Amino acid sequence: MEDLPGFRFHPTEEELLEFYLKNKILGRTSRCDVIGLLNIYRHDPWDLPGLSTIGEREWYFFVARDRKHGNGGRPNRTTEKGFWKATGSDKKIIGLSNPKNIIGLKKTLVFYTGRAPRGSKTDWVMNEFRLPDTVSWPQDIVLCKIYRKATSLKVLEQRAAIEEEMKHVHSSPCSTTLQTMDAMSFGNEHHELTDKSPDLFTSISKDEVDDDRLSVAENKVSAETKEKSNCFRPKLLNGQDSLAELQVPKFSMDFSQDPVWMQLRSPWLDNFILTPSAFVHNF
């Protein structure tokens, strides 16, 4: 009937329970089988639209319940690539003709890829309709409606924005800069540790190590300290030590060696300087 122009199959929940599911369980045949019988758990949800007898955006199936541990256990809803997980409690379906009459129950399930208890949630949803458990039915069959949850345009735009932001973050040079800064930080820490390493030798007690090892360590520290102190001494262009070149000359108090004084000196002044007693004697 889906080939008929303008035909749409959109039954209500009461019609699914009272007409389609109840007639199927009681074995009442109809002139046309709109809903087929299929074990949907042998297929992944994206394969079900092609296996449905009718449907455009919603696909319906009769499913025989396969319980794990007899009639008292939970139905096995595991597929090859995932599993159906129930969300919330079952909803009671009330008939329009009698508000106090519960005609059935509806369970909502979502498909997850992977294996329980972990898995990735998808947008595939299933509504499982079953008749009340208060009545003993000849067959344990449920009616399942499969559909894909509509994603709003706002959610799609948010997903696209997040993906674009993630691509920008991974391609941004900031990540390379951070890696470089981390490497520089590690190098500085290593350098500081190396500079402070000579202090470790001074904290070693002679009671903890041998005298020979302590002597070697002290000589090594002394050499490194002397080498570091020389690093701060300026050098001239010719490579000579500036301290040796810039030493202040020593002044002598012997004026007799001064060239200027040698020109002005006289024998009389020599007698005064060399022999002051002679100067007194002449007077």
Kindly report the average pLDDT of the chain as a whole number: 74
Residue 172 covered by a domain: no
* Whole-number Å distance between alpha carbons of 109 and 90: 10
- Look at residue 153 in the predicted model and tell me its pLDDT: 75
Residues 27 and 134 in one domain: yes
Section 48-63 average pLDDT:
93
The string of pLDDT tens digits covering residues 195-241 is 444 444 444 444 444 555 555 555 665 565 555 555 445 554 455 55
- Look at residue 84 in the predicted model and tell me its pLDDT: 97
The domain total for the chain is: 2
Section 244-263 average pLDDT:
54
Please state at what angle helix 153-171 crosses helix 173-202, rounded to 10 degrees: 50
- Look at residue 54 in the predicted model and tell me its pLDDT: 85
Residues 137 and 224 in one domain: no
- Is residue 194 predicted with pLDDT exceeding 60? no
Domain hosting 93: range is 13-150
Residues 209 and 90 in one domain: no
Section 152-178 average pLDDT:
74
Tell me the pLDDT band of 62, cut-offs 50, 70 and 90.
Answer: very high
- Look at residue 199 in the predicted model and tell me its pLDDT: 47
CB 61 within 8 A of CB 37: yes
* Whole-number Å distance between alpha carbons of 167 and 169: 5
Residue 121 covered by a domain: yes
Q: How many CB atoms lie within 10 A of CB 104?
A: 24
Section 60-88 average pLDDT:
84
Amino acid at 275: T
Higher pLDDT, 193 or 257: 257
Residue 168 covered by a domain: no
Residue 4 covered by a domain: no
Residues 202 and 136 in one domain: no
Q: Write a three-state SS string for the chain.
A: CCCCCCCCCCCCHHHHHHHHHHHHHCCCCCCCCCCEECCHHHCCHHHCHHHCCCCCCEEEEEEECCECCHHHCCECCECCCEEEEECCCCEEEECCCCCCCEEEEEEEEEEEECCCCCCEEEEEEEEEEECCCCCCCCCCEEEEEEEECCCCHHHHHHHHHHHHHHHHHHHCHHHHHHHHHHHHHHHHHHHHHHHHHHHHHHCCCCCCCCHHHHHHHHHHHHHHHHHHHHHCCCECCCCCEHHHHCCCCCCCCCHHHCHHHHHHCCHHHHHHHHCHHHHHHHC
Tell me the pLDDT band of 176, cut-offs 50, 70 and 90.
Answer: low
Q: How many CA atoms lie within 13 A of 110 on its CB side?
A: 10
Residues 92 and 207 in one domain: no
Tell me the pLDDT band of 33, cut-offs 50, 70 and 90.
Answer: confident
Tell me the pLDDT band of 170, cut-offs 50, 70 and 90.
Answer: confident
- Look at residue 262 in the predicted model and tell me its pLDDT: 61
Residue 258 covered by a domain: no
